[in-house]
Amino acid sequence: MNAKAMDKNNFLKMIAAGRDNALLRFTLGNLYLEEDDAASAAEHLRRAVELDAGYAAAWKQLGKALLALGREDEARAAWGEGIAAASAKGSVQAVKEMQVQLRRLDKKRQP
């Protein structure tokens, strides 16, 4: 078993033991994204933002996972929430990154 799989298993055990939190879910979501498992990533990232609606990085990654699943409208909504969360915290770079993703979606929609 590789280190990432062991990490995932440990994180899942922590959740099962009741030690759930936004950072843990964000980390799991990223691990699943790295493995191209967008459905599992989206599940954990969605939980991360439920636990902490101001977690801009989780919103950004949730948008990526949803886009990978072909759920463009949901990705757009996630990035919109993420921009609001990042703006509230003054995270200019996170705002810019999500705005870029939204512009890419807009260009893709144009004929």
Q: Which amino acid is at 12?
A: L
Mean pLDDT for all residues in the chain: 93
pTM above 0.75, yes or no: yes
Number of domains observed in the structure of the chain: 1
Q: What proportion of the chain, given as a percentage, has pLDDT over 90?
A: 84
The predicted model gives 16-25 an average pLDDT of 94
Domain span including residue 82 = 3-109
Residue 82 sits in a domain of what CATH number?
1.25.40.10
pLDDT of residue 61 exceeding 80: yes
pLDDT, tens only, 70-83: 999 999 999 999 99
pLDDT, tens only, 41-53: 999 999 999 999 9
